[in-house]
Chains A and B, each alone.
Chain A
Amino acid sequence: MASVINSVDTAHEDMIHDAQLDYYGTKLATCSSDRSIRIFDVTNGQQTLITQLRGHEGPVWQLSWAHPMFGNMLASCGYDRKVIIWKETNGVWGKLYEYTQHDSSVNSVSFAPHEYGLMLACGSSDGSISVITNAGDGSWDSKKINNAHTIGCNAVSWAPATAPNSLFDSQSVQQGLVKRFVSGGCDFLVKIWVEDNGQWIEEQKLEGHSDWVRDVAWAQSIGLPKSIIASCSQDCRVIIWTNDGVSNSWTSKILHKFDDVVWHVSWSTTGNILAVSGGDNKVTLWKENLESQWVCISDIHKGHGTIGERPSSG
């Protein structure tokens, strides 16, 4: 049984495009067509506006929080082709770095696992993907993958830092973490990229969708040596891609064919529940059941629902 614990009025003047919780779920950042980013403190069922960030000259599409060990840091990307990294110093939020090497709208931004240091990937409508890194001394460096997806890249998502096959060999975890991320684009493709000697190389090209891929999400590998990626597309399908952690091949399974375009997919913290957001005004939750079948466990949709208050015994 679900219940609404809290509701946050963002007071954005236009459409909200993304909302992201920080690592601890205590701060909520939102971004909107009103070109602003707002950060709220959402601890203990209350909401306090911490700051409003202005710097983009168009709609802000997506946000990503850095790991808290880097301090309070947020990356944003938008229609104005910019990626901006924001940081809080002594309670004041300000621009830390601005990246302007894309020729078109930047659709997706995502910080890498903290094990790699400060690193983020962003995908743009110009078809390229940039990986931006901070050397640690304050200087920024970037590598661009040109023509990653023809017509445009819509989404990027990092693989967890624990390489699945190093699960039984903790030595190799420390020594060489292989950096990987997945991207989805307007060429109907899902691609896996791997860093090799400082260069980003296309490792896999996953074909399965028959229209633009709208979102990709790499699941936390929990306890098992396999990798799981979810992708969704305008072809109304969600595909689950699985790699057994031993071979180099990925198998695909259609989670479900929906009645409408599927816009977003995201995994829960432990990577076992997938939230699917579709054009049918619904968010559905999917979980692998005991027989390895993906089943819908919950369905949250728009309508005139009631917000029940949870009573407590104190």
Chain B
Amino acid sequence: MIPELGQFALILALAMAVIQGTLPIFGAQMGKTTWMNVARPAAFGQATFVTIALAVLTYAFVTQDFSVVYVAQNSNLLLPIPYRVSAVWGAHEGSLLLWVWILAVWTVAVALFSRSQPDGFIARVIGVMGWISVGFLLFTLLTSNPFLRHVPALPDGNDLNPLLQDPGLIIHPPMLYTGYVGFSVAFAFAIAALLEGRVDSRWVRWSRPWTNVAWAFLTIGIALGSWWAYYELGWGGWWFWDPVENASFMPWLAGTALIHSQAVTDKRGAFKSWTILLAISAFSLSLLGTFLVRSGVLTSVHAFASDPERGMFILGFLFVLCGGALLLYAIRAPGIATGGQFSTVSRETALLTNNLFMAGSAAMVLVGTLYPLIAEAAGWGKISVGPPYFGLMFFILMAPIILLMPYGPFTRWRSDNAGRLVRDSLPLLAVSVVAGVAPWIVWQDLSIRGVLGLAGGIWVMAMTIKYLLHVNRSAKSRWLGMPRLSRAALGMLLAHLGVGVFLIGVTMVETRGIEKDVAMKPGESFEANGYDFQFLGVNRVDGPNYQADQGVFSVSRGGDVIAELRPEKRGYSRGGQIMTEAAIDPGLTRDLYVSLGEPLDETGSWAVRVYFKPFIRWIWLGALMMMAGGMLAASDQRYFREAAAARKARAAAQGDGEPAAQGDEAPAAA
């Protein structure tokens, strides 16, 4: 009975979403306030029903209701409780429900935090988000119902894929989806502005914090996925340019471009039409990612079950939504004003140059990911496009960004002097070149990419810190000895610093990492970069739903034992899958990483893979800084202050004796 409630709730949510997507928009186009006012209640209603559906599915997992097909396929009696909960999004149907739910939450957030904005505009925004909800709810109900029953109930379930039985995978999908779906807000703002026919930079200012938050979630979602792949798959890599990874990286690149173009449009009113196009692109690429992962057109490490019917549905939906958006763009864009004047050397130009290369990178990843399809459709045979291609192309496209990025904050809006900028940066440029070349001299065998990577990382970090100090000298007001910068500026600097940290991490791992397959007998040792890995032997251990061979390694340096590593090879009882479970001793400047293979012969020799991973944590540390930067920038007081001011103005305009903007708790200037 209860699972049917879930399905019923989904149907009601669909009904609500249809109302949310139609009435408010018609109301806004025709100027009917009562219809526009339906937007918020409909959004709340839709969110309530989707929440009920998600709760019902979670309940079915926790209570082991194997009469629900989806539960039976992705759980079993031995599965520990936390994984029963995360199993909700462990496969296609449930993860789609999570997608829909996160979209509903974003919609509610927009509904709640948009009281400062004109009713007509926000009605359109919520309406556009309603269309997206309609599409995904229909998709769930028609092709991917998670509440399908199996009568009679199965005695036991199949099992959650062991790869997904991991804490990293509990939080990775929700974060990633929050990022994907978050771009729907910027998309909805852009479409609402086009529908309204009044494309000014106001909508951009409103959508900036939303874009920043979505981007921050996407950043951390991708980083979590990378981190998970690193420790869970045992192959020591952190990025493989797999189609599924690319599917998340394309919206990230477009989103990064969007954040920067929004700055130009917000501050200078220029490039509005380009910003709109990017807002449409970022979300379209999120949807494209969903299509690639769920339609089975590409082979991928962890694509969901491929199903042509689902593929057709998403493609159709993508066509209607994004095709419609781009058509609307083509019709309305000519009416958009050009915006302010600025000279060739200016902050505006710097930000747009960033856009050129970011958008170019997104296009490159798109072309690379889809080229096997293109080649096949054209009859050129089956080809593979892998890490060697993406690594090289990304390097070429990112090098200019890394070189120019640190100049951005130093460059003045409207017009600046290139000679001054270059002159001022010369000392640090020299320092960075030395930082790249000196290791090459010391280590002898550093590749050109290694030299440039290290120089670039130091360059970005040094210039960012220099900017902080520079502002510190000139700012009149200070807080704890630091310049009192706006949170937007601090966030930007933190994120840029994160790029430098990330770059150092990537370069060190790629050029200085050690990876070695060795045959070891108990008692034998292997030395990597001064660390001595001694193999002590293999034990048999039992987990809750698996059995494992557990290798024991003692790692010492200069005679001192610094870590004991216990990599496992697990066999899961239910599905019979074998899993490599690596053991890692993490550190800020290096990870020591061991994977256990097979016994090689009767003499007790085992195949072992030993990795030395210098600075690999910096990759995720950098991503974490970028995320924190995005969040910090989104929390800038300016947005709250302006919202409060707008609310006041609206209240004053409407307000015959009404109390000035009820619930106005923002730190308004007295």
- A and B form one complex: no
Contacts from B to A (Cβ < 8 Å):
none
Contacts from A to B (Cβ < 8 Å):
none
